[in-house]
Structure 1
């Protein structure tokens, strides 16, 4: 099945049963074995409300064979075509009693290897030697994100809320966002959500004492200009 029509019109789609129970349990095992023994890693961010691992696919390369099973590879190729590569990945673990929430926003930055003065590349930041920049919107419009759900995700444990079709309006201020056509994106354990970076999305606090773990992976097929490179670029086999 091609999910491109829904992604183009609504900005997202939800696909359940992409992973088997065994595949999810293997991912959990690989993640937990390393996080229990590597507490000093600078890419790990831990608080009572959130545990996040940046550059996840680089820190946990052993998970990639399980993440990119035949189901996911087929979905990506049939929906977007060939030539896409990983540009960023983050593992989010929202604990059972988390009060962490995220207000409505668009994903406007990409991770790059250095800072260069390039036209239409703006709003530079750097964290832990990681440069981020807002590229031209055409790059963001062509990119997509896959969110792999390790736990059943509902409105009670922080499922994403999105504003349908808000990705089609370009980049604009959240103050101008009209909260109509809002969808709560509940996803089964072993399912995925695919979304466009310019889709406005948010996440509420957890209210049901259930954990929510997600692997967030961003993709592009764009080569950056003037010697600028994606800092986390990984080409899939």
Structure 2
């Protein structure tokens, strides 16, 4: 399962049939157990348009054995090599009647344990005692994200739209992209499939129009150690079986 050239040239790849129906049902069960029993958790965000769990792999660690099945481990190894670890994870549940949409953007920030001034680390923010910062682009260029699709995702329930190869242009303002000449792809993914993407790939999502739920587990990876005493606040090394 080698998609390296596609990821490098387009900035993303879609791979279906990574998880069995049974594995997906187990993930759903574990998530529902936590959300039903811990609704006041500070890392949970709930509105009529979106339910999200931040630091998902720490809030629901029981899911990791199912997420990192043999298929996913082989994909990571064959496309990125060894040494990568989790740096951030979020669970998104976009309800059937959601009007939530996200405009085109790049994923420019990382989560760190505290604010320490370091060269080329800028645009600091803090939410719920969680520090985020924009690192040098070399760190972002080396990272990757895997989105695990618990539901079939189409253009009608908020599948990501991406600008192909936009990750190769560095950090950009969206108005500096010429939409007349750029190629846009709607990334439809089957239930149990994944999407791999680079953080600098411009991506967006539309409102839901078909009354179908969209649940996604979003996991970011890096193999870089941070300078000047900075540490990944959600850093988790993957256990080798």
Give how far 1:34 is off.
Answer: 1.1
Matched, 1:211 2:202: no
Give the match for residue 124 of structure 2.
124
Q: What is the TM-score when the length of structure 2 is the normalising length?
A: 0.98
Task: Count the aligned residue pairs.
Answer: 237
Report Cα offsets for 1:152-198 as digits up to 9, x if no partner: 00000000000000000000101112222000000000000000000
Instruction: Give secondary structure in 2 for the equivalent of 1:5.
Output: helix
Give how far 1:99 is off.
Answer: 0.2
Give the match for residue 93 of structure 1.
93
Give the match for residue 26 of structure 2.
26
Give how far 1:236 is off.
Answer: 0.3
Report Cα offsets for 1:104-128 as digits up to 9, x if no partner: 0000000000001111000000000
Q: What is the TM-score when the length of structure 1 is the normalising length?
A: 0.99
For structure 2, the residue ranges without an aligned partner over 5 or more in a row are: none
In 1, Cα distance between equivalents of 2:222 and 2:37: 32
For structure 1, the residue ranges without an aligned partner over 5 or more in a row are: none
1:223-234 equivalence runs, <5 A: 223-234=225-236
Instruction: Give secondary structure in 2 for the equivalent of 1:36.
Output: helix
In 1, Cα distance between equivalents of 2:123 and 2:228: 18
1:1-237 equivalence runs, <5 A: 1-179=1-179, 180-237=182-239
In 1, Cα distance between equivalents of 2:177 and 2:91: 28
Q: Which moved more, 1:174-183 or 1:140-149?
A: 174-183
Give how far 1:65 is off.
Answer: 0.0
Instruction: Give secondary structure in 2 for the equivalent of 1:104.
Output: strand
Instruction: Give secondary structure in 2 for the equivalent of 1:27.
Output: helix
Instruction: Give secondary structure in 1 for the equivalent of 2:148.
Output: strand
